[in-house]
Amino acid sequence: MSTTEQTIKWTLNHLPKTEDRQTAHMSLTEMEKANAFHKSFPQYSVTPLTRLDHLAGHLGLARVYVKDESYRFGLNAFKVLGGSYAIARYISQQLGKDVSEVPYSVLTSEKLRQEFGQATFFTATDGNHGRGVAWAANKLGQKCVVHMPKGTTQTRKDHIARENAAVTIEDLNYDECVRLAAKEAAETEHGIMIQDTAWEGYEEIPTWIMQGYGTMALEADHQLEADGCRPTHIFVQAGVGSLAGAVIGYFSNRFKENPPVMVVIEAGAADCLYRSAMKADGSRVDVTGDMLTIMAGLACGEANTVSWDILRNHASAFVSCPDWVSANGTRIYGSPLPGDERVISGESGSVPMGLLHAVMTNPAYRDLKEALKLDEHSQVMLVSSEGDTDPDRYREIVWEGLCGSSKQPFETLT
């Protein structure tokens, strides 16, 4: 698909199933362990699950909820959950301890630094993951090196640099930056790769990162239950698929007998999961090139192998969205119907909302609406994975109408 393709594309999941070994790593027990670790941080608080009743009525749905990660640890995005937990798991493993023995107070102690020493954590990022890793490393007195792909904005780089990380913008795409960071980590004494994607031979740390993301899923589950809701549908975005794998893995374990309809949503310019699902033989299809999209956090062309195994077994559908879908979602959140709360959702956070709106209001997507069984009885949870992490881009979307229609692709506006 070219970056100028302006039609939402989708497929139901017809992939051959596997032995499904990875879903067990996203069990309620593992997510509770990660959540207990995050609760040890003084910055921890449960992020809102906002109920948009007037929007639900407007769309012809029973309920619409959004898990708003713009409040996470003051970093405006969910990614810190994974990076911090993976660093803690690595340090505890090196010390022969369980992660429950190294809460925040221990990790930041002088005694631990004497026992563990100092490591250099390497990562590649489009913005939020690197900021989360850098923040965690800085809080724990560790070093951090971050590489960012071409097209990254100065604002995103500056956020990471403020966490005392060494950060560069490379003339490479995201996946090439991942390979660069892995190479440098391997060549550095006490260098460790903390990456939110997995490949053959590198799966333990990405699994820990996904378990860290499980804190968000666990919180949302408890909040839904407290509101008397058993979700019928979950919409979650994907870059490499780590967040989607964590959320879908959790809810697959939570509702084993009758899981919700769970939809994986990608940027059209980097839709490796959708393309893999379309191929339908179980193999992964990579996307290469610059992957131009406003959804910077989703501009990833190679799927996480751990997450892919979960998604091919449990995702209901895979959807590829052009940029106008995300931009519309940002504007819907930012200009709510009277009586609904406003949600600040950045371009990578808002695509589930944009998709839900398109499916429920545009007759061109009636077949997708019917395939997903969306109707007046549906109780839908969306994930807004970030706030306005790039304020300039957020204003371009909301104030200036960036990607304001299906005839206005991002690449012609930059």
What gap in Å lies between CA 76 and CA 58, rounded to an integer?
A: 28
**Catalytic annotation present for 290:** no
- From the candidates 79, 139, 143, 157, which is the catalytic residue? 79
Strands 143-148 and 120-124 come out as parallel
172-192: b (≥16 Cβ within 10 Å) or e: bbbbbbbebbbeebeeeeebb
Per DSSP, helices labelled H in 242-282 are 242-254, 272-279
What gap in Å lies between CA 159 and CA 144, rounded to an integer?
A: 14
Backbone phi and psi for residue 9, each to the nearest 5 degrees, phi listed first: -120, 150
**Catalytic annotation present for 79:** yes
Residue type, 189: E
DSSP class of residue 71?
Answer: G
- From the candidates 9, 67, 126, 340, which is the catalytic residue? 126
Other beta carbons less than 10 A from residue 151's beta carbon = 16
Tokens of 279: 């191929």
Residue 411: Cβ-neighbour burial (10 angstroms; 0-12, 13-18, 19+): middle
What single string gives the DSSP state of each residue in 284-318? -----S----S-GGG---S--HHHHHHHHHH-SEE
Q: Evaluate whether 194 touches 209 at the Cβ level (below 8 Å).
A: yes
**Cβ neighbours of residue 309 under 8 Å, at least 6 residues apart?**
18, 20, 21, 22, 23
What gap in Å lies between CA 341 and CA 337, rounded to an integer?
A: 8
The H or E element containing residue 34 is: helix 28-39
**Cβ neighbours of residue 21 under 8 Å, at least 6 residues apart?**
309
Active site residues: 79, 126
